[in-house]
Structure 1
Amino acid sequence: MPKRKMIRMDGPQKQRFNFRIAGLGFRNGHVLVHRAVHEDFWTFPGGRAEIGETSVETLKREMIEELGVEVSVGRMLWTVENFFRYEERDYHEIGFYYEMDIPAHFPFHPSGIVHRLRDGKNDLEFKWVKATKAALTALDIPPYFIAEQIETLPPTPVHIIWDDGNLDR
């Protein structure tokens, strides 16, 4: 099996470029989110793309690895040039956000953790949260523009440049 190579590049002065693919899976008016248990914030499930794989392949692979299920990847919602600070690094991330269908046998509960796993050095937990601006805002789920648009998803893909304003540049 060939060695996997995630698309990530470190720059000078604690800068990092990342190519991340994420999915928004909906069920019963809720959307699936996850976090590393040591973090205060949540995000949409996904991960870094690997060299030689399409973004759809990345999302499918990540969901098999993280959820243990094969998802159907739907339409692209957003392409995001995301600038943020995390763990004392300035990130420049290109993110593709897709709708995805999660199989019905994946657990659903309107509150509480529905799935956990160890991913490398991180313990991840997944839960369903109401797909509303109020719920996502209360949860602290970057990039924050998604909370503004969650109740009315764009009909065609939208390109967003998002800067959380916490960069040293």
Structure 2
Amino acid sequence: MYQFNVRVYGLLINEQNQVLISDEQEYGMQFTKFPGGGLEYGEGLIEGLKREFVEECNVEVEVISHFYTTDFFVRSAFNDSQIISVYYLVKSLSPLNLMFKTVQFDFDGEGEILQSFRWVDLAKLSEEDVTFPTDKHVVKLLINNI
């Protein structure tokens, strides 16, 4: 039986026209993506996105609008499931209290699961700034909408 893996991500753009991205290390891999993650059983998309932002960024967000839903086949980089990703434009309801990095994969500490955050200027954003195929497609859409 084929499994579906539903993911939900937030595009958080600040007043300097920068988008928040997450550098992560997990499963022996390093990757860069937008904040968010897997939907848990029983959760709605927006509820899952809000939970992910609290877990990852310690901030509550408000969903502004739907931005994109995967419309092509994507196989998970971690297993044989099919990935369906939903992206929303979001705004934070309070200031982000994170240590922002300027260098990719600049993690504090050690361990199996690591994460750091960077702001990337939308004017300089490129597909090479993210790892996964759906995020690359979303970057193209963001660039075309600037």
Pick the TM interval, shorter chain. Answer: 0.7 to 0.9
Equivalenced residues, count = 137
Q: Which structure would you say has the larger Rg?
A: 1
Q: Is the counterpart of residue 128 in structure 1 residue 119 in structure 2? A: yes
Higher RCO (CA 8 Å, separation ≥ 6 residues):
2
Flag structure 1 segments of 5+ consecutive residues without an equivalent: 1-10, 155-169
Q: Is the counterpart of residue 147 in structure 1 residue 139 in structure 2? A: yes
Opposite residue 56 of structure 1, the aligned amino acid is I
Higher strand share: 1
Q: Contact 1:25 / 1:100 at 8 angstroms: preserved in 2?
A: yes
Looking at structure 1, the residues matched to 24 and 100 of structure 2 have their Cα atoms a distance apart, in angstroms, of 19
The structure-2 alpha-carbon separation of the partners of 1:110 and 1:79, relative to structure 1 and needing over 3 Å to count, comes to same
2:48 corresponds to which residue?
Answer: 58
TM-score, L = length of structure 1: 0.66
Percent of aligned pairs with the same amino acid: 26
Q: Identify the match of residue 76 of structure 1 among 66, 75, 78.
A: 66
User: What are the Cα deviations for residues 118-154 of structure 1, in whole angstroms up to 9, with x where unaligned?
Assistant: 9x9511111111224x533232343221121113449
Q: Contact 1:108 / 1:128 at 8 angstroms: preserved in 2?
A: no
Higher helix share: 2
Q: Which runs of 4+ in 1 moved over 6 A?
A: 115-118
Q: Contact 1:83 / 1:90 at 8 angstroms: preserved in 2?
A: no
TM-score, L = length of structure 2: 0.76
1:21 corresponds to which residue?
Answer: 8
* Shift, 1:75, TM fit: 0.5
Looking at structure 2, the residues matched to 140 and 45 of structure 1 have their Cα atoms a distance apart, in angstroms, of 11
